Amino acid sequence: MPFHRLRQQVSEYSALLHARGWVANHDGNVSVREGPGEFLCTPTAWSKRSVGTEDVLVVDRDGKVRQGRHKVFGEWHLHKAVFQARPDVNAILHAHPPTACGFAVAGRPLGRPGIAEMVVSLGADIPLIPYGAPKSDVLERAVATSAEVYDAVVLANHGVMTWGDDLEQAYLRMELVEHWARILAVAHQLGGPVMLPDADVQKLLEARTAAGLGPKARSPLLKKPG
């Protein structure tokens, strides 16, 4: 994709995070891999409502600004951890969608998606990463480890990160995580979710692999039992 189009996309998906009500104040960030060791991302301390193409930064893998008038966001190290762990990932979103964040604040994992199509799209689990102070190495390592297996994670008392081949895929995953959180909240009100059996999840994960989604073979549930 041409550089100017990628820049536009960062601006567009940034605005979408705001339009969907998934960020407030300066929350959230957007990044894409532009080339080897080069990335585009949103600036720090900026409403995602109004990131213009001229505000999008070019940074290296350490978050050093190569082009742009603003500073990179403090959570860059978490994006870097995902980009390093997953060479197939080209785009990352971070946001604070309210229902998923409700679970994050309550310390309740979103866990395994309870709807078949969601397992195909998101995998066998949406892990809850224990709280880590901003900029902590522990949090960075936990995100890197999860990225090897998953495409969406919830950070306790913080927010959600999703990633994918491109911003559209990362965006749809964010949408799905929030949608699942809303469904799960209702299921809890109705007596609790009835989860899909392992054998069925196995088949869905095979369909996921066949569709070329996710880090595939690394999913623990994909290993043949026994």
Give the whole-angstrom CA distance, residue 171 versus residue 193: 25
Q: For the CB of residue 27, give the shortest distance to Zn ion in the complex, in Å.
A: 6
In the structure encoding, which two tokens stand for residue 139, read together?
């949090």
Beta carbon nearer to Zn ion, 119 or 139 = 139
Q: Which is nearer to Zn ion, 123 or 159 (CB)?
A: 159
Q: How far is the CB of 75 from Zn ion (least distance, A)?
A: 6
- For the question of residue 178 being annotated catalytic, the response is no
Instruction: Name the residue nearer to Zn ion (CB basis): 96 or 112.
Output: 96
Residue 213, classed as helix, strand or coil, is coil
Task: Name the active-site residue from 75, 140, 148, 175.
Answer: 75
Minimum gap (Å) between residue 158 Cβ and Zn ion: 5
User: How far apart are CB 159 and Zn ion at their closest, in Å?
Assistant: 4
> Footprint of Zn ion on this chain (CB under 5 A)?
159
**Which residue number has the CB closest to Zn ion?**
159
User: CB-wise, 28 or 164, nearer to Zn ion?
Assistant: 28
CA gyration radius, the chain: 17
Active site residues: 75
